[in-house]
């Protein structure tokens, strides 16, 4: 495993993306951060540069659904940092409603952001890594990807399952290559996306959640459920759970 000193994180303006950026900065890693909300990105970059003056922090605006811009931005970051060696595909969306209830636009937006945009980011990252025969691609999936989930979680779970399947296919492709692909499945971590959701079981705060994410990413596993407790045993349980158990989700 090579040292990954130059890390690109999408969806870095808030939530897990920003929290991971802070942790990697404290580890003296150079960062390329992108998101739609440039004012938040600029504030985060200023914070990180002040706290860690020895690192390089490059920021660029990016809507990951602008696929041409994804490729342009990743190439520009590669120049900024003289070679990106880890890309964390983190940008995502949690909108959703039961299918057939008149909310196709929200479900389509979730599917496009979580999978098609992740596909574009994986393509752009691997265009950088293939000529070098090195690099670490990290796909942030979800524990929701383990099974198809009902109601408002349906489109979200399906989109994250697609991300996990893409990751597994890439792992098979690069099995004997120095290029590493990791699929990370976070459980319930409190962020801005779910701060209004109450009574969520087994949820952890963003500090603990981002710490678990960074530790898992640093190990460069093929697949990891985070935090490991309780989500590693839950992973096994969810795989064999009957549909009447699955029906309680969402």
What is the DSSP secondary structure assignment for residue 192, as one 8-state letter?
G
**What is the tens place of the pLDDT at every residue in 194-240?**
455 555 667 788 899 999 999 999 999 999 999 999 999 999 999 99
- Note whether residue 82 is domain-resident: yes
Neighbouring CB atoms inside 10 A of 42's CB total 14
Cis peptide before 230 (omega within 30 of 0): yes
Query: Residue 220: which CATH number?
Result: 3.40.50.720
Q: Please report, for residues 19, 39, 93, 152, the alpha-carbon distance to residue 189 in angstroms, rounded to integers and kept in the order given.
A: 12, 24, 14, 18
Among 156, 174, 188, 231, the one annotated catalytic: 156
- Note whether residue 175 is domain-resident: yes
- Note whether residue 160 is domain-resident: yes
Q: How confident is the model at residue 247 (pLDDT cuts 50, 70, 90)?
A: confident
- Note whether residue 126 is domain-resident: yes
The verdict on whether 156 is a catalytic residue reads yes
Q: What string of H, E and C letters represents the secondary structure of 43-90?
A: HHHHHHHHHCCCCCEEEEECCCCCHHHHHHHHHHHHHHCCCCCEEEEC
**What is the tens place of the pLDDT at every residue in 41-74?**
999 999 999 999 999 999 999 999 999 999 999 9
**What is the tens place of the pLDDT at every residue in 148-181?**
999 999 999 999 999 999 999 999 999 999 999 9
d(CA 91, CA 75): 18
Cis peptide before 136 (omega within 30 of 0): no
Work out whether the CA dihedral 128, 134, 140, 143 comes out positive or negative: positive
Mean pLDDT confidence for 114-143: 98
Pairing relationship of beta strands 6-10 and 30-35 according to DSSP bridges: parallel
Give me the number of domains the chain comprises.
1
Q: Which residues span the domain enclosing 126?
A: 6-246
- Note whether residue 1 is domain-resident: no
Share of the chain above pLDDT 90, in %: 87
- Note whether residue 229 is domain-resident: yes
- pLDDT given for residue 149 in this prediction: 95
**Burial of residue 47, with CB atoms counted within 10 A of its CB: 0-12 exposed, 13-18 middle, 19 or more buried:** middle
Q: Which residue would you say has higher pLDDT here, 46 or 37?
A: 46
- pLDDT given for residue 201 in this prediction: 67
């Amino acid at each position: 495993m090579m040292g990954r000193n130059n890390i690109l994180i999408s969806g870095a303006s808030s939530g897990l993306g920003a929290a991971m950026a802070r942790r990697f900065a404290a580890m003296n890693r150079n960062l390329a951060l992108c998101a739609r909300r440039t004012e938040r990105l600029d504030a985060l970059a200023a914070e990180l540069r002040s706290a860690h003056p020895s690192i390089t922090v490059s920021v660029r605006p990016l809507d990951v659904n602008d696929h041409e811009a994804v490729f342009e931005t990743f190439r520009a970051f590669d120049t900024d940092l003289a070679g990106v060696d880890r890309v964390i595909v983190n940008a995502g969306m949690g909108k959703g409603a039961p299918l057939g209830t008149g909310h196709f636009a929200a479900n389509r937006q979730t599917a496009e952001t979580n999978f098609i945009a992740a596909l574009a980011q994986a393509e752009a990252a691997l265009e950088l890594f293939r000529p070098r025969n090195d690099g670490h691609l990290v796909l942030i999936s979800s524990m929701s990807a383990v099974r198809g989930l009902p109601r408002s979680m349906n489109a979200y779970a399906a989109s994250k399952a697609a991300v996990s399947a893409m990751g597994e296919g890439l792992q098979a492709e690069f099995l004997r290559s120095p290029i590493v692909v990791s699929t990370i499945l976070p459980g319930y971590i409190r962020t801005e996306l779910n701060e209004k959701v109450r009574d969520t079981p087994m949820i952890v705060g963003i500090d603990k959640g981002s710490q678990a994410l960074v530790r898992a990413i640093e190990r460069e596993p093929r697949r990891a459920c985070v935090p490991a407790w309780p989500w590693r045993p839950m992973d096994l349980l969810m795989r064999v759970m009957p549909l009447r158990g699955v029906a309680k989700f969402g």
